[in-house]
Chain A
């Protein structure tokens, strides 16, 4: 069973890396988490991103939530912003699509065009 004592060990282990990382610009993953997004399945998508990012130990990635951006029929919507790049909007996301987005876009820098809003509209 995991206990709070494990946290102390994790803190000690990661503290050095954290101080190094603070000035770096990171990747931002923003998941639409309003009523419409949640009802369409945004939570499993977000959890899948968290798992994939943690598994690959990607330390420069921040996953955050946002409200409704007005395209409820295309939810779950996820925006990915790489440093100094234009925002890419993925629509009708599913947990199954997440691994591909992380591998091709976030790690290698090539957006997965077939999942983007441009391909859906």
Chain B
């Protein structure tokens, strides 16, 4: 993975596979504390305690087609190489929370990358899932709620071309505004 936003896309697929109806993502970039962190919280089926302790192991996976699962181990390695860590807690039947912490200015920290692309794909592909996405950079912040958008859209789908284009622009503009109008992180 070349970007943290790709790890986020990958880990959020776990929430979707766990039949979550609500997935909440919060990304916080705090240059003062020199940290970047994100948390993904879902209301999916959760995992039993023995799975939670094993899931960092690449030879453990929830799927039945194959015996390796690399999503979480890759994220763990990406966080640890910047002096950070990941945390996972899960309750069977209630959901899972996973968070990752990175050293913001660490030379090995991958750029956050194209968050707009990650969210656009998820929102338009999984229309029956509610996504709440918050992104904060220093004191700047914005929040997107697909439930709020869906209330306005009614029967009109997110995959309707005009809606898709609007959502793409909306995400790109809000992401850019977080960095003072530049279209990516200033520290690329």
Contacts and interface: CB of A to CB of B under 8 A. Distances in A.
A34 B69 CA distance: 10
B6 interface: yes
Contacts of B69: 35
Interface string A64-91: 1101101000000000000000000000
B7 to A, nearest CB: 8
Contacts of A20: none
Given A2-B170, A2-B173, A4-B149, A59 B121 contact: no
A8 B153 CA distance: 7
Interface residues of B, number: 42
Given A7-B153, A35-B70, A62 B159 contact: yes
Nearest to A65: B125
Secondary structure class of chain B's binding surface, majority of residues: helix
B162 interface: yes
Contacts of B71: 35
Contacts of B66: 68, 70
B9 A63 contact: no
A59 B152 contact: no
Interface of A: 1-2, 4, 6-8, 10-11, 13-15, 18-19, 33-35, 38-39, 43-44, 46-47, 50-51, 53-55, 57-59, 62-65, 67-68, 70
Interface of B: 1, 6, 9-10, 13, 17, 63, 65-66, 69-71, 74, 114, 117-118, 120-121, 124-126, 148-149, 152-157, 159-166, 168-170, 173, 177
